[in-house]
Amino acid sequence: MHYEGNIIRPPSEANSILLQVTVGCSRNKCSFCGTYRGERFRIKDDAVILADIAFAARYCRRQRRLFLCDGDALIIPQKRLMRILQEIRRQLPWVTRVGAYANVKSIAMKTPEELEALRDEGLGIVYMGLETGDAVTLKNINKGATPERMIEMGKKIKAAGIKLSVTVILGIAGKKRSSIHAKATGTVLSAMEPDYVGALSLMLIPGTPLYEDYTAGRFELLSSREMLEELRVLLEHTDLSRGLFHANHASNYLPIKARLPRDKAATLALIDQALGGDVPLKPEWLRAL
């Protein structure tokens, strides 16, 4: 397989075929992210993509899922993306689901009919980074979208029959707006109704604008206890009719996995036990991106 630059994928795609169709991220302006700094976004040549699909057809027969790397595969023009999916279906008929990252801009560029066509060709799940439901924090981290627009695009994916997985970041608002961020994020998630929610804990990356704000004293990083308190408020304000809420990323201090609404009360009780010192937290040296 041909890979360029930093390759990232959601934790749930750990065992998937990783097919890189783009290099970098189409936005690449978020203040907390250093994954693609200095890397110009581009779509890879069709010949390279087709060669990788042929490689997977020969050597990846045990994997039933495929993930389109990298930062935002949905930005690929519709006809070209359809051809990629059709080739995956033709050469890898055992693949049952294709996943991809997306952002507000790339979702907005697709019509409902185009999204349905992508679903029919195998696109089964889209991963979107909400990060926060707080309008002020979204602006501060240069996310390029409002909470209302996030909700609209999330619902658009769901309406097309594609599963939606949304990422939020604990600690991204700093100490002053922690509670506001947690409550607003729960409210946005409740309105969006994603199939999956993944909560990560902020880890500052040297060289990013947010790290520079931290070293200059303009941003206060939450302690492990404050991260946990924020997680509790966020979950308390998240009401899904049906969905999985995960906080099992390597960055988190307390791994949790809850099916909402069934497990909400029990998970809040678990967080309370951790806050009371009855459940140990992951040590700092074990946390990772």
pLDDT-based confidence at residue 5 (cuts at 50, 70, 90): confident
pTM, 2 dp: 0.94
pLDDT score recorded for residue 289: 62
Question: For residue 78, what are its two tokens?
Answer: 């519709």
pLDDT score recorded for residue 38: 77
CATH of the domain at 16: 3.20.20.70
Does any domain span residue 155? yes
Does any domain span residue 168? yes
Residue 108, pLDDT above cutoff 70: yes
Q: Which residue has the higher pLDDT, 248 or 74?
A: 74
Residue 169, pLDDT above cutoff 90: yes
pLDDT in tens, 210-235: 999 999 999 999 999 999 999 999 99
Question: What whole-number distance in Å separates Cα of residue 270 and Cα of residue 90?
Answer: 46
Question: What whole-number distance in Å separates Cα of residue 261 and Cα of residue 157?
Answer: 22
Q: What one-letter code names the amino acid at 248? A: N
Does any domain span residue 4? no
Mean pLDDT of 105-123: 97
pLDDT in tens, 22-56: 998 888 899 999 888 878 899 999 999 999 999 99
Question: For residue 145, what are its two tokens?
Answer: 């979208």
pLDDT score recorded for residue 284: 76
Residue 272, pLDDT above cutoff 90: yes
Does any domain span residue 2? no
Mean pLDDT of 74-103: 97
Q: Where are the beta strands (DSSP E) in the chain?
A: 17-20, 22-23, 42-43, 65-69, 97-102, 123-131, 163-170, 196-201, 243-246, 257-260
Q: What one-letter code names the amino acid at 108? A: A
Cis peptide before 52 (omega within 30 of 0): no
Does any domain span residue 113? yes
pLDDT score recorded for residue 53: 98
Question: For residue 167, what are its two tokens?
Answer: 């990422």
Does any domain span residue 221? yes
3-class secondary structure, 215: helix
Does any domain span residue 260? yes
Mean pLDDT of the chain, nearest integer: 94
Does any domain span residue 6? no
Tell me the residue range of the domain where 97 lies.
11-286
pLDDT-based confidence at residue 259 (cuts at 50, 70, 90): very high
Give the number of domains in the chain. 1
pLDDT-based confidence at residue 268 (cuts at 50, 70, 90): very high
